Structure 1
Amino acid sequence: MKLTAMAASKASLVFLLWLAGPAWADDIRVITSGGFTAAYQQLVPLYEAATQDRVITAYGASMGNAPDSIPSRLARGETFDVVILADSGLEKLVSEGKVAAGSRVDLARSLIGMSVRKGTPKPDISTVEGLRQTLLNAKSIVYSASASGTYLSNELFQRLGVADQIKDKAHKIYSERVGAVLARGDAEIGFQQVSELLPFKELDFVGPLPAELQQSVFFSAGMVAGRQTAAASRFVRFLASPAAASIVQTTGLEAVATPLPAPAPPALGQASKQ
């Protein structure tokens, strides 16, 4: 049975109180990519309330040369303790010496999906041929400039044999979410990590890519080289914990850890103790 968001939050807070012990009140500087953002924004307030640590957050794409992407910001020398991004992007930062080797912690698995504006037709993309025809029939297509979009433009469109036919109507989106472009009516269909599409209430989520075409991406945390602090390690441990997994599951991601079970209701006739 899925936990409600409130039960998940309570479970997380219980775990934090056990983890925290005395309050530390350290600053932790984090930069995270969009795929983990919905879960992250629910988890951080719980962590801060229980530990008194202060989490200072920035956002950027997992890869690419946009000025606000995670690789670009690290290359400029911006200071962070923890990075959270697609696993391929994290491994590249490790190879460049920007993220400490051996510090990778997988937090969640993500799938690529498609959305359209509410009130517009929802094409069937549940099969390979259905997705192919959807791409050919669409008047305009947008996709992320980060990990999911790199896979679509470099691999998937070629595998489907549509790369040449759609090249003039398919556009990579930099420095904003695909959902925002769709919500403005600037494109007909859009692709991104499911967890990045679901928060847009102006959109209808059509579904994930067919299983045989799906790219399964891990969102992983790593500690910036030279910044491996106890506070950063403590925060990453929480994000990867079973209590955090209870919330991660509600945001369109598949948690790596097994979520905590829902709290048992009080026995009949017993007053709840507060």
Structure 2
Amino acid sequence: MPRTPHFVKQIAAVCMLAGLAMAAQAAEIAVLSAGAIEPGLRAAVAAYDAQTGHHTRLTFNTAPALKKRMDGNPAFDVVIAPRAVIGEFAAASKLAETRANVGRVGMGVAVRDGAPVPDIRSAEALKQAVLDADSLVFNRASTGLYLEGLLKKWEVSAQVEGKTSRYPDGAAVMEHLLHGQGREIGFGAITEILLYRGKGLTLVGPVPEAVQNYTAYTAAPLASGTQQALAQELLAFLAGPVGKAAFVAAGITD
């Protein structure tokens, strides 16, 4: 039986209403996050958005920059930061009580493809590699702050200061290394180094366990957020099996 134009119009109207209903249920969730977990977080929220129909808007900053953003009137639903930073925000009553453990990221050593590979098998070997390098590159974020303290502990800060370059974030460190020369070594979050593997950089490996520094990242909804239910839903997804798998694949461990 041929379908009448009226029947076709009815079908079109139903489809339009269904589309409008789906659009009405979809929402945008704003997330402010530290940059070291970017690869895993992007993969995790892509899976979340595909499952829910929502859109997660991500903004990345270094830990020091996160503090500045939170000092203002942050228009975000969820913040993800190093555990100590989350503690500061919570103490200032800026966060809701719910927490989700995202994982932790270790510090690694990177060199340009084809450059001499330093021996980092022990803390003493790493210290010697730092002294022997033509130049050092690291950031001013969590990883760099820890390394700065390690160099002082080794009492070599004065010796390497003249050959050290520092940048605001890990991406700038990696870009510097790509265009460097000689025996130059860089330090950064392993997740950030892995993004450049196959693109011109080599991950020499994690720093020795004796001097390793893991930064643990935690997610929490903002206390002033207007989408508390959605924020809680996103946190549950990030801590669930699909979210965890995305983080582990990016080098973020429990």
> Same fold judged by TM-score > 0.5?
yes
Q: Separation in 2 of the partners of 1:149 and 1:98? A: 26
3-state SS of the aligned residue for 2:63? coil
Higher helix share: 2
Q: For residue 153 of structure 2, what is the aligned residue in structure 1?
A: 159
Matches within 5 A, 1:1-274: 24-63=25-64, 69-100=65-96, 102-153=97-148, 155-175=149-169, 177=171, 178-185=173-180, 188-200=184-196, 201-227=199-225, 229-254=228-253, 256=254
Q: Separation in 2 of the partners of 1:34 and 1:142? A: 18
Aligned residues of 1:144 and 1:192 also touching (Cα < 8 A)? yes
Paired residue type of 2:43: Q
Aligned residues of 1:24 and 1:51 also touching (Cα < 8 A)? no
3-state SS of the aligned residue for 1:168? helix
Q: 1:60 to 1:167 in 2, by over 3 A?
A: same
3-state SS of the aligned residue for 2:98? coil
3-state SS of the aligned residue for 1:167? helix
Which shifted more, 239-248 or 201-210? 239-248
Shift of 1:175: 4.5
Shift of 1:215: 1.2
- Runs ≥4 residues deviating over 3 A: none
Q: 1:225 to 1:169 in 2, by over 3 A?
A: farther
Question: How many matched pairs?
Answer: 226
Structure 1 unaligned blocks of 5 or more: 1-22, 64-68, 257-274
Q: Separation in 1 of the partners of 2:201 and 2:47? A: 29
Aligned residues of 1:35 and 1:219 also touching (Cα < 8 A)? no
Q: 1:193 to 1:176 in 2, by over 3 A?
A: closer
Q: Separation in 2 of the partners of 1:107 and 1:159? A: 30
Shift of 1:170: 2.1
> What's the RMSD between the two structures over aligned residues?
1.8
Structure 2 unaligned blocks of 5 or more: 1-23
Q: 1:176 to 1:159 in 2, by over 3 A?
A: closer
Larger radius of gyration: 2
Shift of 1:61: 0.6
Q: Separation in 2 of the partners of 1:192 and 1:176? A: 6
Q: 1:24 to 1:160 in 2, by over 3 A?
A: farther
Shift of 1:103: 2.8
CA shift digits 1:163-182 (9 cap, x unpaired): 22112222321145221221
Q: Separation in 1 of the partners of 2:41 and 2:69? A: 20
Paired residue type of 2:69: R
Q: Separation in 1 of the partners of 2:73 and 2:170? A: 22
Percent of pairs with identical residues: 30
